[in-house]
Amino acid sequence: MPIPSTKTQTEVIHGLLNVNKPAGLTSRKVVDRVRRIAGMRKAGHAGTLDPDATGVLLICLGDATKLFSHLQKGSKEYIGTMVLGMETDTQDASGTVIAVGNAGLTTWDGIERILPRFVGEIKQIPPMFSAVKHRGKRLYSLARKGIQVPREPRLITVYELEILWVRLPEIRFRVVCSTGTYVRTLAADIGAHLGCGAHLRDLIRTRSGPFGVENAVSLESLSREQLLSHIYSIEDVCELFSQQD
């Protein structure tokens, strides 16, 4: 549970804040806003969300930044919507359409037959529009210049993958996966296997480790007083992760 706090404006905060990230902001900008509200310089997030994605974003303040490696070990759960028959250069709805396919022949049974290919340990190629570095430069900076470079596949783990509904050309799905998974790439790869292409329309991170979106604090109305009442101590964070294990 969040710890009660009697900290004053001048006192340093050491703990974790579970923020419900709104759409339209980068994870970095969310951290900057929390830092200003907290009156602190030492802060960071544990697990990037794309600007258009929403949901759980864990913000570490003060000495809690030492927990980054620990927080990265937790699995993450997402609910998203992919759109079949349309590929974009960013693999999500913010990108430019680069290919159009026919999603009309896709069936629920056909979708479920290919899902096992994407469960377990699988290799995934990071998208060009990502923060992965190539020779010291972020891939997205190269992609914006129209430069494509080869990327090495990365091993990720998909623990659970299920279809929630199908309303062609849209598919609503839930996925539980390891850190480092690009859900928009997962959607694009599923579309490729279906033969029609796909992109991710929307995405919400519903859980990161033991922290769920139902307990996340809204960024829009966040005040310092509210921040203090929702901070998890370093000890509480470690205890929550030990219970999950």
- Residue 52 within a domain: yes
Instruction: Identify the top-confidence range among 111-115, 169-173, 224-228.
Output: 169-173
Pair 172, 218 in one domain? no
Pair 110, 170 in one domain? yes
Q: For residue 204, what are the β-bridge partners?
A: 54, 79
C-alpha 104/C-alpha 111 separation (Å) is: 13
Choice between 47 and 183, residue whose per-residue pLDDT is larger: 183
Pair 81, 202 in one domain? yes
CA torsion sign for 64, 65, 67, 68 is positive
Predicted confidence (pLDDT) per residue in 223-239, tens digit: 999 999 999 999 999 88
The yes-or-no answer on residue 50 being catalytic is yes
Domain at 126, CATH number: 3.30.2350.10
C-alpha 103/C-alpha 92 separation (Å) is: 17
CA angle 177, 71, 121 (to 5 degrees): 25
Pair 192, 104 in one domain? yes
**Domain span at residue 136?**
76-207
- Residue 9 within a domain: no
- Residue 62 within a domain: yes
Q: In the chain, how many domains are there?
A: 2
Pair 164, 215 in one domain? no
Mean per-residue pLDDT of the chain: 89
- Residue 101 within a domain: yes
66 φ/ψ angles, rounded to the nearest 5 degrees: -70, -10
Pair 81, 167 in one domain? yes
Choice between 72 and 66, residue whose per-residue pLDDT is larger: 66
- Residue 4 within a domain: no
Choice between 241 and 112, residue whose per-residue pLDDT is larger: 112
Pair 165, 231 in one domain? no
Pair 112, 29 in one domain? no
Catalytic residue among 32, 50, 236, 245: 50
Q: In sequence order, what are the residues at sequence separation of 6 or more whose Cβ sits closer than 8 angstroms to the Cβ of residue 181?
A: 76, 124, 156, 157, 158, 175
Pair 202, 216 in one domain? no
Pair 100, 154 in one domain? yes
Pair 238, 134 in one domain? no
Pair 110, 188 in one domain? yes
Among candidate residues 82, 111, 110, 86, the one with its CA nearest the CA of residue 187:
82
